[in-house]
Amino acid sequence: MQIFKNLFSKPLSIKLKVTSPNGFHLRPTARFTTLAKSFECDIKAKFKHKTVDAKKVNSLLSLSLEKNDTFSLIARGKEAQKALMRLQALFETLMQEDRETEQIKKEHSCYEGEILEGEIIAKGVAISPASVYKTERIQHESTLNFQDAVDKSIKALEERYETQKKSNNAEIYLAQKALLSTLAEKCNSLEALEHMIAEESATLKKTKHSAKISDYQDILQQVKTALGLEIKMHFDQGDFILLADDLLPSEIALLSKTRIQGVILKETAINSHTAILLRASGIPSLIADTSQIPLSSKIILDTYAGVAVLHPSSNDIHKATLLQKQHKKAKEDAASRRFEPASTIRGKTVKVYANVGDLLSAKIAKEEGAEGIGLLRSEFLFTSTKPSLESQIKAYREIFDTFEEVTVRTLDVGGDKTLPYINIPLEKNPFLGIRGVRLLKTHPKILAEQLHAIFLAAQGKKVKVMFPMISTVEEFRQAKSFAKEVAQKHNIEIGQIDFGIMIEVPSTLFLIPAFNEAVDFYSIGSNDLAQYLFAIERTHPLLKIDALSPVIFFALESVVKQATKPVSICGELAADSDAIERLVNLGFHTLSVNPKSVAQTKEIIRHV
Q: What are the tens digits of pLDDT across the range 347-366?
A: 999 999 999 988 888 998 99
The C-alpha atoms of residue 528 and residue 371 are separated, in whole angstroms, by: 25
Neighbour tally for 577: CB within 10 Å = 12
Report the pLDDT averaged over residues 122-149.
90
Q: What are the tens digits of pLDDT across the range 374-430?
A: 999 887 777 656 788 998 999 999 999 999 999 999 988 654 445 555 555 555 565
pLDDT of 93 over the 90 cut: no
Q: pLDDT-based confidence at 7, cuts 50/70/90?
A: very low
Measured between alpha carbons, how far is residue 548 from residues 439, 561, 572 in Å?
A: 32, 19, 11
The C-alpha atoms of residue 573 and residue 531 are separated, in whole angstroms, by: 13
Q: What are the tens digits of pLDDT across the range 559-588?
A: 999 999 999 999 889 988 889 999 999 999
> What pLDDT, on a 0 to 100 scale, did the predictor assign at position 143?
87
Q: pLDDT-based confidence at 166, cuts 50/70/90?
A: low
Among 489-493, 544-548, 551-555, whose mean pLDDT is lowest? 544-548
Measured between alpha carbons, how far is residue 463 from residues 399, 453, 587 in Å?
A: 11, 13, 23
| Residue 500 per-residue DSSP state | E
φ and ψ of 307, to 5 deg: -135, 155
Q: Which residues contact 229 (CB under 8 A, 6 or more apart)?
A: 137, 138, 139, 140
Q: Where are the beta strands (DSSP E) in 173-259?
A: 229-234, 240-244
pLDDT of 169 over the 80 cut: no
**286, 264 contact by CB (below 8 A):** yes
Measured between alpha carbons, how far is residue 11 from residues 5, 6, 34 in Å?
A: 9, 7, 21
Strand-pairing partners, residue 260, are 240
**10, 82 contact by CB (below 8 A):** no
**68, 18 contact by CB (below 8 A):** yes
Q: What is the percent of the chain with per-residue pLDDT over 90, rounded to a whole number?
A: 48
The C-alpha atoms of residue 353 and residue 34 are separated, in whole angstroms, by: 35
pLDDT of 3 over the 50 cut: no
213-226 helix and 273-281 helix, angle to the nearest 10 degrees? 80
> What pLDDT, on a 0 to 100 scale, did the predictor assign at position 374?
95
Judged by phi (left if over 0) then psi (alpha if -120 to 50, else beta), residue 6 lies in: beta
The C-alpha atoms of residue 205 and residue 200 are separated, in whole angstroms, by: 9
The C-alpha atoms of residue 605 and residue 546 are separated, in whole angstroms, by: 23
Report the pLDDT averaged over residues 456-468.
92
Among 204-208, 240-244, 329-333, 539-543, whose mean pLDDT is lowest? 539-543
Q: Which residues contact 554 (CB under 8 A, 6 or more apart)?
A: none
H or E element: which one contains 302? Answer: strand 298-302
The C-alpha atoms of residue 407 and residue 498 are separated, in whole angstroms, by: 9
Helix (H, G, I), strand (E, B) or coil at 417: strand
Question: Is the Cα torsion angle 47, 50, 56, 59 positive or negative in sign?
Answer: negative
Among 94-103, 370-379, 467-476, whose mean pLDDT is lowest? 94-103
Residue 193 or 204, more confident: 193
> What pLDDT, on a 0 to 100 scale, did the predictor assign at position 285?
94
Name the amino acid, one letter, at 218.
D
Judged by phi (left if over 0) then psi (alpha if -120 to 50, else beta), residue 347 lies in: left
| Residue 535 per-residue DSSP state | T
> What pLDDT, on a 0 to 100 scale, did the predictor assign at position 223?
92
Q: pLDDT-based confidence at 2, cuts 50/70/90?
A: very low
pLDDT of 299 over the 90 cut: yes
Q: Please list, residue by residue across 469-495, b when 16 or more beta carbons sit within 10 angstroms of its beta carbon and e when fewer do.
A: bbbebebbebbbebbeebbeeeebebe
Q: pLDDT-based confidence at 482, cuts 50/70/90?
A: very high
Alpha helices in 231-374 (DSSP H): 252-255, 273-281, 314-336, 359-367
Neighbour tally for 78: CB within 10 Å = 12
Report the pLDDT averaged over residues 489-494.
94
pTM of the model: 0.58
> What pLDDT, on a 0 to 100 scale, did the predictor assign at position 6?
39
Q: Please write down the HEC assignment for all residues of 396-414.
A: HHHHHCCCCEEEEECCCCE
Find which of 86-95, 96-105, 368-377 is predicted with most confidence, using mean pLDDT: 368-377
Helix (H, G, I), strand (E, B) or coil at 579: coil
